[in-house]
Amino acid sequence: MALIEYARWHFFAMPLEILKGWRNFLWFGLNYFSLPLLLQTYFSPWRRLQWSAGRGFNLGKMFEALVSNLISRIIGASIRTSVLLVGILVEIFLVAAGALVFVGWFALPVSIAFSFYYGFKLL
């Protein structure tokens, strides 16, 4: 009876818990790096820094505001790109680590049986 309960826990109940934990890690990484928000605001100015040309028609001030706003957007996009790349790399690592843990969980009974066999063989 205990062996059947162990098999039910090991092969049915615990893999579901591992998948739930894996999902939580993936969700945490996605929200920690704010990947959806970074994609939505990709070309927004860095730290919302924007310049205005002021009132009236002054071509020099208009050009200065245009260049300053363009530089702010380029800086914002470049920083968001680096954070996006790090976030995507972390997500790839989490997918690989979760897959390794999930497959490793099913390999544990085989490795335990092999260890006992090899240990008795060494005696």
Per-residue pLDDT reduced to its tens digit, 1-42:
898 999 999 999 999 999 999 999 999 999 999 999 999 999
Long-range contacts of 51-60 (CB under 8 A, 24+ apart): none
pTM for this one? 0.80
Q: How many CA atoms lie within 13 A of 68 on its CB side?
A: 12
List the domain boundaries for the chain.
2-122
47 vs 85, which has greater pLDDT?
85
Which tops the pLDDT comparison, 65 or 24? 24
Residue 117 has pLDDT above 90, yes or no: yes
